[in-house]
Structure 1
């Protein structure tokens, strides 16, 4: 690293980014929609290129270039639908057992074009795997710490104290192993994260992920149809377009303020590769907020309204017909909406903290006629 590069990295701040200055060594900058920005796209099944007029919307700023997803070992678009259901077997009592092998490891990742971040990861990705199970399943996570610091897995759910992932109950040192085992309850949209101290450092370095428990329709006769629609793999569930978004942010110069914001880690990724949505099928988003250093995050949908299930632990909405919800750190919920009565087109989503939007947490839904 040259002295100039080191100086540039030291000067990186959210104010400099908002001013349109240098983002990081390697030439990544923010450009205006008038022609400065590079709107090149990577091709994915779930994304199509956005017109330049839309890529520069809401602040006329977007990161230049592309992140090397192959080098990262994960892609934010793939993460939208990449549910990890574990290895399934049957216990002697006939119940379903889901098992996972999880490792903690230090890994440098690219969070914006040319911007590297020294992350701490679960299974080499940020966010970690999106675990999914069914209410009543037995869950077993074999956790190995290959990182350079003590780590754990703390699950937001119902479990015994010895499975809590705190000092003396599943917090382990480098080279150690621990097995977390508990039942999947309650149903809902949950979170897991490292609970080592200092907590804010372990969280903002990348040790978190979504943890979804589907309701068992047999236990919810009064709302069985709704429960089946959330049960992964059921005919009712296949009618839905389900996405998981983990809202996160990165303090690249470790001054206690975030320089980049995103969903699924990569700034502006869903502006450059909008998320394709079939107009006739309903949409369900499992939304989790793990932004550190900012007390409140939010989600605003353009041109539409949605029903919201706070924590996802109910089968009836906690809010109906809203276009904006707020989440504090570690809060999460489920959003449900449809574009059935809309014309095809690009529909924006973003937080209503404008600074977060301009620093990367913004995207588009590319609503199309039914896709093959």
Structure 2
């Protein structure tokens, strides 16, 4: 069964290890009663009136039901603002040592209502924990493989070949442990992922996560204010509403084509539970594309524009005043925007490949007064 013939409402997703439970995902067309459409007296007074807050989004093509986030062990709403900052100590030379602990675990997760996927995870979640550090710190990542296959952690950044997490250096067999250690550089929005072969399967099964290095303002005096706004824990950073979003997708019948698309794993999570945004505070999104089997993914912001920092390694935008960007797999960047001049209400964001949108990659910002 190819994804283009998949009808979420009535077709069970088949696969040797992907299970579709009785509360099957479906598509809804609520609010489109064809009987009432035939009676002019029942038509809305204003044919251009906006739909309700949770109505009309792309024809209301969405999954039906709810995902058990407690059973999954992670919640996509909480994921938006969850940063793993590890534990901090001081080295003999006075530098900061930041230590993270990461485990590879085989785990079934629910990616849409009733759709269970046999994932390979970092710390029991997909995407893995969003690791965050400061430029120049020494990083130590203690990696333990409790999974059923060899795994590794490959960090996009600058480090020794011995820390690269590829076959021949840092590939860890089941039951083994390895310690990756390197300096945090360059600053920016990065990612990590398993680099064991077959790479497409290890990536697709869920072994990836965001890896953010904040700039050190002392190293960038010409842009110190901007750097401080990105440095977690500063007053300048506290002004921002920061969100981490990892675009991903799932091939539930293992035919090398995806049946579900999402941000932070759960299809339609942010359309069913919109993201609350205070209009008086700016928004910063750390966006990472971990989608397998499709050459690109995209992010489109409705009714607004943003500045984009490709890879996040600059303190000035690489694109200004755009409402759509594309990312190939492993590409990432930082989006900055605000709703200060907007009226409160629901504003959509989604991937601008229509197929991705209709198969789960769509959400809403709930813009509210402070």
TM-score by length of 1: 0.90
Contact 1:83–1:131 at 8 Å: present in 2 too?
yes
Q: CA RMSD in A?
A: 1.4
Residue 237 of structure 1 aligns to a residue whose secondary structure is helix
Point out the more displaced range, 177-186 or 59-68.
59-68
- Aligned equivalent of 1:355: 355
- Aligned equivalent of 1:83: 83
Distance 1:163 1:55, change over 3 A: farther
- Aligned equivalent of 1:272: 272
Residue 210 of structure 1 aligns to a residue whose secondary structure is strand
1:100 CA displacement: 1.1
- Aligned equivalent of 2:74: 74
Contact 1:55–1:62 at 8 Å: present in 2 too?
no
1:33 CA displacement: 2.9
Deviations 1:167-201 (A, max 9, x none): 11100110111000000000000010000000000
- Aligned equivalent of 2:133: 133
Distance in 1, Cα, partners of 2:111 & 2:134: 32
Does residue 14 (structure 1) correspond to residue 3 (structure 2)? The answer is yes
Distance in 2, Cα, partners of 1:255 & 1:72: 25
Contact 2:186–2:313 at 8 Å: present in 1 too?
yes
1:20 CA displacement: 4.3
Structure of larger gyration radius: 2
Residue 172 of structure 1 aligns to a residue whose secondary structure is coil
Contact 2:28–2:64 at 8 Å: present in 1 too?
no
Q: 1:28 aligns with which of 24, 27, 37?
A: 24
- Aligned equivalent of 2:111: 111
Residue 341 of structure 1 aligns to a residue whose secondary structure is coil
Structure 1 unpaired stretches of 5+: 1-10, 37-50
- Aligned equivalent of 1:313: 313
Residue 294 of structure 1 aligns to a residue whose secondary structure is coil
Contact 2:151–2:196 at 8 Å: present in 1 too?
yes
- Aligned equivalent of 1:339: 339
Contact 2:349–2:363 at 8 Å: present in 1 too?
yes
Distance in 2, Cα, partners of 1:114 & 1:185: 41
1:313 CA displacement: 0.2
| Matched residue count | 345
Residue 232 of structure 1 aligns to a residue whose secondary structure is coil
Contact 1:16–1:22 at 8 Å: present in 2 too?
no
Does residue 328 (structure 1) correspond to residue 328 (structure 2)? The answer is yes
Distance in 1, Cα, partners of 2:7 & 2:300: 21
TM-score by length of 2: 0.91
Deviations 1:75-104 (A, max 9, x none): 001000000000011111111111011110
Distance in 1, Cα, partners of 2:7 & 2:308: 31
Alignment of 1:92-103 (within 5 A): 92-103=92-103
